[in-house]
Amino acid sequence: MTKLLALDAATRTGWALARPVGGQLRGVQCGAFDMQGNTEAKLFASFHDWLTRLLAAEKPDAVAFEQRLASFASRKASDLGGDYQMQIRNENNVKRQDGLRAVVLTCLGQFGVGYYEVAVQSWRTKFLDGAKPPADVLRDKRSAWYKRKTREKARADGDEMGFVVPNTDAADAYGILCWLNREWSQQEQGNSERRRANPKR
């Protein structure tokens, strides 16, 4: 039976897993994994080991994960109020995101799993039905507003469907999973229509 997996890769990686049935998600599970280690190498190694075990155990048919924001990667001190310490933290965060992406792609390649990379605004727009922060929400507070709304909707879905959303990271992964389910369902519908239009003789 088809399985879909979504990842919100970070130091604490949110994950969500489910079966798509008739365009709906069934058997939803979600949680978060905390990378372990006191060096970048050990952190990435623990992430690789965890993801390898997850893929081996669940055997998903497709995986979706969030793209890194290009604008985030290019932010310099001049964009951050002259704060060079923040620029350094920003650059280190970008390097970690690139490293996590490399680990994800390596693991997916090892298992031969197809994948989708989705922009954060793409899945949030779908998941939150186009909702946007009110005009009085400051620009640097909008990310927190989106995360809060995502967590609220994910937990409401969990209450209705019978699964637990333990934290914000898992909520984001569930939002990505819902986006993946739409993409997968549309693809499967298209494949089905092509098979009907071109039956084997």
pLDDT at residue 90, rounded to an integer: 61
* Under 8 Å between Cβ of 100 and 7: no
* Under 8 Å between Cβ of 67 and 119: yes
- CATH architecture for segment(s) 4-197: 2-Layer Sandwich (3.30)
**How confident is the model over 73-87, as a mean pLDDT?**
46
For the chain, give every domain's residue range.
4-197
Q: What is the pTM of this model?
A: 0.86
Between 61 and 140, the more confident residue is: 61
What tens digit of pLDDT does each residue of 116-163 get? 999 999 999 999 999 999 999 988 899 899 999 999 999 999 999 999
Pairing of strands 24-34, 12-21: antiparallel
Determine phi and psi for 96, rounding to 5 degrees: -65, -40
Torsional sign, CA 128, 30, 9, 67:
negative
Determine phi and psi for 38, rounding to 5 degrees: -105, 10
Determine phi and psi for 140, rounding to 5 degrees: -75, 0
